[in-house]
Structure 1
Amino acid sequence: MRFLVLGAAAGGGLPQWNCGCPNCIDARRGKIASASQSSLAVTLNGRDWAVLNASPDIRAQMHRCPQMHPRALRDTPLASVLVTNGDIDHIAGLLSLREQSPFTLFGTSEILGVLAENRVFDAVSAAKVTRRALEIGQPFDLLEGLSAQVFPVPGKVPLFMEGETVETDLVGEQTVGVRLSDGDGVAYYIPGCADVTPELLAILEDADQLFFDGTLWDDAEMIRSGTGVKTGRRMGHISISGAGGSIAKLEGLSANKTFIHINNTNPVWQPDSPERAFVQAAGWTVAADGMEIST
């Protein structure tokens, strides 16, 4: 399996259009690299690609990556798209894929239901784009020769569907991770996760490669930075640091581990920060746009 990070950042990207935090300032000045919103592509043969989550930046991401360019007058290497939740930063890019090119769109019934309830997504022609509902735990071919399964991870409904009471540790079809296998290696993609439970740890035991939610360094990051009023857990994301964070809870995994879906406020964006050094010392990589990883 060959992976291409189309976008490494969380919703809003880096820099975020309305943010003047230190990271966004440094990204605008070119001091640190910019990053687009979270999306990951995978291929087995270098010709046919599947995209995991269609971010609002997908047009620019595909333009930037020659691997995703058309090879004929009307053509695309894109064979399929899989969405792991109904968040805007994972589904809005579908509207940029509406120009009558066929591909298969995968998602759980609940996630596809979010699309069905909003008629703007009818622009992604059903005559060209087949929507295929996935059952939890049931294998399917994401690409020829690439077997995939989705499984529930703790999370919540999309922000635009929240009511007065919000459960952030729901386990069901609304937030899923993806297991990928070509028969030789096993990779997991989990860009949104509220907690690492014993059940999730058991699932990940056979991982050779893990792409995992790196949204926030700590739970109070957005409050402390003045960029928001919600904790990480309220947003449905586990923190990287701390005794209950992802580094500590996933320490026992022997997989190659990469953080993806990283918020613009996260100090790990700074290459010389102590937080980046801590992440690297723990055996993790911080994803970057255009990064390629093979398993």
Structure 2
Amino acid sequence: MTKARFLVLGAAAGGGLPQWNCGCRNCVAARDPLSGLKPQTQSSLAVSLDGERWVVFNASPDLRAQIEHNPCLHPRDLRDSPISSVVITNGDVDHIAGLLTLREKQAFTLYATPALTDTLRQNPVFQVLDPAFVRQTVVQLDTPFSPLPGLEIRLFAVPGKVPLYLETADLQLDQETDQTVGVEFRLGARRAYYIPGCGSLPDALATRLDGADLLFFDGTVFEDADMIAAGVGTKTGRRMGHMPIHGAGGSLTALSALSIGQTIYVHINNTNPIWQAGPERDLVEAHGFQIGHDGMEVTLAANP
């Protein structure tokens, strides 16, 4: 029976936990070994069917540390890597900067949509990925492909925006284009999803997710104004392209209305109160949802 291993390499949003320049309640706790809150790296997921070959979804700036913290990703020979491929879901710095870590003449395939491929090609720093070793493959939306033998996935548009460094005066939010995508995994009749960034949950997306066996979903902020309330920023979650967990139009209520076997929040901002015990975390767990963390692993078996 085919089994897929889903390994959370990084559960935090951009900047990680603690963020280098932040003294918020969570960051202070994450720096204190006695607090019980462990540091978390930036958003990334690894998936394997055999434990030998892995595909990494989003190459975070913390990728080198993530590899070292997970022995299944260690080299097995003089020059080697179990990472066979990398898939990018948007062009945010916290999802592409780690590609620069993979520049040491190691073969792998990089999958991205046309828009995200253009983003990488227009930035000359990514030319360090030697095309003699790194094959860049353009993937169209809703077209099945296999980043690992036997693993079929699809990329699909979810509401989002362009990366911060591409924003202009006419910025549009909640655009459904190939700039921000989710990942659908199909294992026989079973389905899993990875959506680390999502601005809202329209009916079409809810219909797609209904009946899923496993969902990793955007948990950036608890309330839309988390960062404002914490005194560390001026933008709401929605302005950054992320729907809140709680409040009007929040993901907790919307996803609870669907039939999903297991829902796990990832891409959690350093200011989000669900990192620690309290009413916000209690509410999430009361709905049967889980808070992702570095090293968390979930196995999903295909139906016989």
Map of 1:279 onto structure 2 = 284
Give the letter aligned to residue 82 of structure 1.
V
The one of 55, 75, 87 aligned to 1:50: 55
Amino acid in the other structure paired with 1:257:
T
Segments of 5+ residues of structure 1 without an aligned counterpart are none
Distance in 1 (alpha carbons) for counterparts of 2:112 and 2:288: 31
Percent identity, aligned pairs only, is: 52
Deviation at 1:274, TM superposition (A): 1.1
Residue in structure 2 matched with residue 76 of structure 1 by the alignment? 81
Deviation at 1:86, TM superposition (A): 0.3
Deviations 1:82-129 (A, max 9, x none): 000000000000000001110110010100110000010000111111
Q: Distance in 2 between matches of 1:274 and 1:4?
A: 27
Paired residue for 1:268, among 274, 296, 302? 274
Which AA in structure 2 matches 1:26? A
1:171 Cα deviation from its structure 2 partner: 0.7
Give the superposed CA RMSD: 0.8
Aligned pairs for 1:238-249 (under 5 A) are 238-249=243-254
SS for the counterpart of 2:210 is helix
Instruction: Check if 1:103 corresponds to 2:125.
Output: no
Letter in 2 for 1:40: L
1:62 to 61, 67, 89: 67
Where does residue 23 of structure 2 map in the other structure? 20
* Whole-Å separation in 1 of the counterparts to 2:87 and 2:230: 33
C-alpha contact 2:209 2:260 (8 A) present in aligned 1 = no
Query: How many residues matched?
Result: 294
**Of 243, 246, 262, which residue of structure 2 is paired with 1:256?**
262
Are positions 1:151 and 2:177 aligned together?
Answer: no
Deviates more, 1:26-35 or 1:188-197: 26-35
Aligned partner letter, 2:218: D
Residue 194 (structure 2) aligns with: 189
Q: What's the CA shift for 1:184?
A: 4.7
Q: Distance in 2 between matches of 1:90 and 1:161?
A: 15
| Correspondence 1:7 to 2:13 | no
Map 1:218-233 → 2, pairs under 5 A:
218-233=223-238
TM-score (norm: length of structure 1): 0.98
Three-state SS of the structure 1 residue aligned to 2:155 is: strand
Matched residues in 1 for 2:273 and 2:163: separation? 25
Query: What is the distance in 2 between the residues matched to 1:56 and 1:281?
Result: 33
SS, match of residue 154 in structure 1: coil
- Matched residue type, 2:14: G
Q: Distance in 1 between matches of 2:83 and 2:237?
A: 33
Secondary structure, counterpart of 1:168 in structure 2:
coil
* Separation in 2, partners of 1:238, 1:26: 25
